Amino acid sequence: MRRIKLFFRGLFYRGHNFFCPICNHGYRTFFEGGFNLAVINEYQIIGAGKRKNAICPGCASNDRDRLVYLTLINKKLNLLPANLILHIAPEPSLSSWIDSYQKKNKGSYIKGVKYHEGFYYSGDVQLMDLMHLPFDDNSFDLLICNHVLEHIPDDIGAMNEIYRVMKPSSKSILQVPWSPLLDTTFEDNSVKTPAEREDKFGQFDHVRLYGKDYVNRLESIGFQVETISVNHLNLHDNLLISYGLNNKEVIFVATKPIHTS
């Protein structure tokens, strides 16, 4: 029913003002998405907040999904093809594209639910605990974890699990909302209710607000981290507007080194 609804909604909104590279259609409008909260504005949180022209009418991808898609297909980054991909908390539109891509290229694709109380997916998605991934060491060629770690009480433990199941020299896309105004990630275990978390962290189910030290947290696990600006994707201003992207976004690509201790 969801696919049928999206199909007819997409037809209704077809046009030329915006373009979704995931479903490969043009639309006269994208929908607004996100939350308008004081903490998001105060700390200028990237990857959060109320965004105009964020949601595609046809496949329901948001700007963050399209950013990951464009990162995946960027030839300079050399993320695809990959023999085996693990996708934590798979976004439906992005997941559908990856599934099709992997089948076409004879690769494998595993979709797993994130470790987050009360958050589940239906369909062919495995229910798994990100703190205890059910895979052997050095299993995956590519891992995608898009806006998940901010939900995890022990994010360092989750990073360690991600690191463990990745093959040496493999890469992962590890996106989070973060503030360029904070030198240090803000955490407070006394903040527990949805209202308090919304007020302090920018969303009712977030448990921290990452700062500029996010890269340091990943590097403490052993990752080599490359931070890539949207401009690195070689998209001119018209395409940024057409795709509904935030030009302040940064892509965090973490590599597991070949030589690990």
**pLDDT at position 254:** 98
Residues linked to residue 172 through DSSP beta bridges, in sequence order: 143, 254
Q: What are phi and psi of 46, to 5 degrees?
A: -85, 130
pLDDT at 177 over 90: yes
Give the single-character DSSP code of 43.
T
**pLDDT at position 118:** 45
In the block, residue with structure tokens 């052993």 = 222
**pLDDT at position 121:** 52
Mean pLDDT of all residues belonging to the chain: 91
Which tens digits make up the pLDDT trace of 201-217? 999 999 999 999 999 99
**Would residue 249 be called left, alpha or beta, if left means φ above 0 and alpha means ψ between -120 and 50 degrees?**
beta
User: Long-range contacts: 232-236, Cβ < 8 Å, 24+?
Assistant: 233/70, 233/71, 233/74, 234/74, 235/70
Contact 197, 135 (CB under 8 A): no
pTM: 0.92
For range 39-56, the mean pLDDT:
94
- pLDDT band at 260, cuts 50/70/90? low
Distance CA 91, CA 213 (A): 26
Give the single-character DSSP code of 170.
E
For range 67-71, the mean pLDDT:
96
Distance CA 230, CA 244 (A): 12
- pLDDT band at 236, cuts 50/70/90? confident
- pLDDT band at 239, cuts 50/70/90? confident
**pLDDT at position 122:** 52
**pLDDT at position 1:** 67
Please report, rounded to a whole number, the percentage of residues in the chain having pLDDT higher than 90: 77
For range 36-64, the mean pLDDT:
94
Q: How many CB atoms lie within 10 A of CB 18?
A: 19
Distance CA 167, CA 8 (A): 42
Contact 29, 17 (CB under 8 A): yes
Which tens digits make up the pLDDT trace of 110-129? 998 765 554 545 557 787 88
**pLDDT at position 235:** 78
**pLDDT at position 261:** 52
Distance CA 255, CA 230 (A): 19
In the block, residue with structure tokens 């600006």 = 229
**pLDDT at position 125:** 78
Which tens digits make up the pLDDT trace of 3-44? 777 755 767 779 999 999 999 999 999 999 988 999 999 999
pLDDT at 70 over 70: yes
Which tens digits make up the pLDDT trace of 134-160? 999 999 999 999 999 999 999 999 999
pLDDT at 219 over 50: yes
